[in-house]
Amino acid sequence: MKDNNRDIHKIIENDIDLKKVINTLKNEESIGVDVEADSMYHFKEKVCLIQLSSEKECFVVDPLKVNNTSQLKTLFINRNIKKVFHGADFDIRSLHRDFGIEVNNLFDTELASRFLGVLESGLDSVLLKKFNVKVDKKYQRSNWTKRPLPEEMIEYAAGDVKYLIPLAEMLEKGLEEKGRTGWVKEECKILSMVRHESTNNSPLFIRFKGAGKLDPRGLAVLEALLQYRMKVAEEVDRPLFKVFSNNSLMGLATEKPVAMKNLQNLNIMSPKLIRIYGVKFIAIIKNAMKIRNSDLPVYPRKRTPFVKPVVSRRIMAIKTWRDEIASGLNIDPTILFNKAMMNAIATKNPQNLEDLAAVEGLKKWQKKEFGRDVVSIISSVK
């Protein structure tokens, strides 16, 4: 690792300084990137810091103070600059959601680590292994919206990008030696296009763990309670889990108390919550109990599709081959071909490379490196 001044970091709190940072970084070959958000403390999650690093220094951009954070778009869209993230999925979605930022020329060191056979691919584990650097997680779940930020928190944020560029250089060398550069490059390009998913109009209970165990009446109660929690969370600007816990709402939907004494006897929430919201809970449950049976919601069940015996044999053949190859490459088998892809290939029954290329979701590197083997295996199954 090069000897440099990565311990130097600057906090950027206005448009003029941000423009200077952009002018400084626009000539770099690579920049390290990370973000801090506030999902643990507010109803609507937002990016609170954007950390950027060059070979020589780190910049901590404060989008809560900078008026025009979107001017970073030109930097991130520049294909001549490699943007180094570690575990980029959340960051890519968040930057696009909040600022319309699109990322070109992405290199994800977490993804690269996994393609090199690293099992513990979290940043703390990778830095400890590669650079003998121990990451302090003290501020990992801190409230990044509070201002002014203590210097220790700013240092923590800068630390997340301090080693990304030398780490990327090390991993790229490893990928080149193993002939996997193209694999990661394609995966990173796909990753750079992920976007934040907007909430849809489907019932809230669809995304609630355990809802499938409830009867239709219980689902009606749960949905009403979830709608109410959403309303309260927005009003008080707190994340859902800090308003009413999932366990509490599940208990209410299961037991359906319609009297305060019944609610208190359940012991599923604090006396304080019952004192503040108990009457409302009872009213919500009573209203849900009045819904006609014909109007009650039904939890959607996914039918397990019938799989022909020959398709099952193809899946097993691909899996056996994949596991052997992965073992030889010292790599997680699911990185080569996950379950969904093996099922898709077995169902498609490709007899040549052209057929294989038509399988939805198949990566170019998968076809190039393993296509002939896959077709041969499929063809051998009777």
Residues 6 or more apart from 245 whose CB is under 8 A from it?
A: 269
Write down the domain spans for the chain. 9-191, 204-295, 309-380
Topology agreement, domain 204-295 and domain 309-380: yes
pLDDT band at residue 140 using 50, 70 and 90 as cut-offs: confident
Predicted local confidence at residue 7, as pLDDT? 61
Predicted local confidence at residue 6, as pLDDT? 55
pLDDT band at residue 362 using 50, 70 and 90 as cut-offs: very high
Measured distance CA(238)–CA(257) in Å, rounded: 26
pLDDT band at residue 2 using 50, 70 and 90 as cut-offs: very low
Architecture label for domain 204-295: Orthogonal Bundle (1.10)
Supply the mean pLDDT for the chain. Answer: 95
Architecture label for domain 9-191: 2-Layer Sandwich (3.30)
Average pLDDT for 173-188:
98
Examine the pLDDT at 331 and tell me if it is beyond 50: yes
- The alpha carbon of 207 is separated from its chain's Cα centroid by a whole number of angstroms, namely 16
Average pLDDT for 318-345:
97
Predicted local confidence at residue 4, as pLDDT? 46
pLDDT band at residue 1 using 50, 70 and 90 as cut-offs: very low
Query: Where do runs of H (alpha helix) occur along the chain?
Result: 15-25, 73-77, 89-99, 109-115, 123-131, 151-162, 164-178, 181-191, 216-236, 246-255, 260-266, 271-289, 309-329, 333-336, 339-348, 353-357, 364-380
For the domain bounded by 309-380, which CATH number is listed?
Answer: 1.10.150.80
> pLDDT for 255-279, tens place per residue?
999 999 999 999 999 999 999 999 9
In this predicted model, which residue has the larger pLDDT, 23 or 382? 23
The answer to whether the CB of 381 falls within 8 A of the CB of 374 is: no
Residues 6 or more apart from 66 whose CB is under 8 A from it?
A: 12, 13, 14, 15, 18
Predicted local confidence at residue 12, as pLDDT? 97
> pLDDT for 123-138, tens place per residue?
999 999 999 998 888 8
> pLDDT for 211-249, tens place per residue?
999 999 999 999 999 999 999 999 999 999 999 999 999
Cβ burial of 159 (10 Å; 0-12, 13-18, 19+) is buried
